[in-house]
């Protein structure tokens, strides 16, 4: 698998702004994980343009990330702006 436990722990450790480095449920951590997966799937689809199952999974991930970003924007605009800047996302 492309995402090992160590890599996932590193992503959560780097992006756990609020609580602890084992915080896997915060919006920032989830957005970071989804962004990593979206980038990975985007590269895969560039190499395999006829892989429609992966394309569908990519679209679902992008939708999940968008909903989390919308939630974060409603609840705490400063955290939202920090996440956008950190992951180079445009909104």
Mean pLDDT of the chain: 88
Q: Are 11 and 32 within 8 A, CB to CB?
A: yes
- Inside any domain, residue 4: no
- Inside any domain, residue 64: yes
Distance CA 31, CA 61 (A): 10
- Inside any domain, residue 46: yes
Residue whose C-alpha is closest to residue 66's, from 49, 48, 84, 54: 84
**What pLDDT, on the 0 to 100 scale, is given for residue 14?**
76
- Inside any domain, residue 9: no
pTM of structure: 0.85
Read off the CATH number of the domain in which 78 is found.
1.10.287.10
- Inside any domain, residue 42: yes
- Inside any domain, residue 7: no
* pLDDT tens-digit readout, 40-71: 999 999 999 999 999 999 999 999 999 999 99
The number of domains in the chain is: 1
């Amino acid at each position: 698998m492309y995402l090992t436990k160590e890599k996932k722990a590193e992503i959560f450790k780097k992006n756990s702004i609020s609580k602890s480095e084992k915080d896997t449920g915060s919006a920032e951590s989830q957005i970071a994980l989804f962004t990593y997966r979206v980038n990975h799937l985007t590269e895969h689809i560039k190499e395999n343009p006829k892989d429609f199952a992966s394309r569908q999974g990519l679209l679902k991930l992008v939708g999940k990330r968008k909903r989390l970003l919308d939630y974060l924007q409603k609840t705490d605009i400063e955290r939202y702006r920090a996440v956008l800047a950190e992951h180079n996302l445009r909104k």
